Amino acid sequence: MNWSSFINENLYFARMQLDQMSQADSKPKQIAAETAAILFLERAYYGFLNELAHKRRIKETVADIEDLESRLGIESAEVRALKLLAAEGKWLEQLLSLIQRCRQPRKEVRPEDSRVIAVSSGTGDTVDLNTLLAAMKQSFEELRETSTEW
């Protein structure tokens, strides 16, 4: 499997989990689907970083944007774009915040919030995972289209 297939597979799995989350008939099922969706989105992002590295002939896998940048030796247009997406309020910043939140014990959620496909980023903001998924797909496509190396 190549990185592009890995990314697409994980984006698809995230979509499946979001669908499960919206249909969950219990809070534990909703939490499980939410967490799985976030982790599949993380895997897709990780795959995209490695797709960029592979296209630049970097054989080792990269763990994050800083690792990619250090292995490139320069700040590429793709790295600059990803850093902008990691700025406050952008989808990548939201995703990274959600990933951090997934690694911590969960806070209690009010019962009236149980049917919303939106989660707290930990900063007080609410993140709609469907919107985040769409933004990721769009960004990946745009970066692929504008990449000077492809």
Tell which wins on pLDDT, 122 or 29.
29
What digits encode the pLDDT tens for the residues 65-79?
A: 999 999 999 879 999
What digits encode the pLDDT tens for the residues 80-110?
A: 999 999 988 899 999 999 999 999 998 765 5
Q: Tell whether the model's pLDDT for residue 118 goes beyond 90.
A: no
Q: Tell whether the model's pLDDT for residue 119 goes beyond 50.
A: yes
DSSP for 78-116, please give it.
HHHHHHHHTSTTSHHHHHHHHHHHHTSPPPP--GGGTT-
Distance set, CA 50 to CA 47, 59, 67, 126, 144 (Å) = 5, 9, 10, 29, 13
Identify the DSSP state of 128: E
Average pLDDT taken over every residue of the chain: 88
Judge whether 6 and 53 are in contact, CB under 8 Å.
Answer: no
Q: Tell whether the model's pLDDT for residue 121 goes beyond 70.
A: no
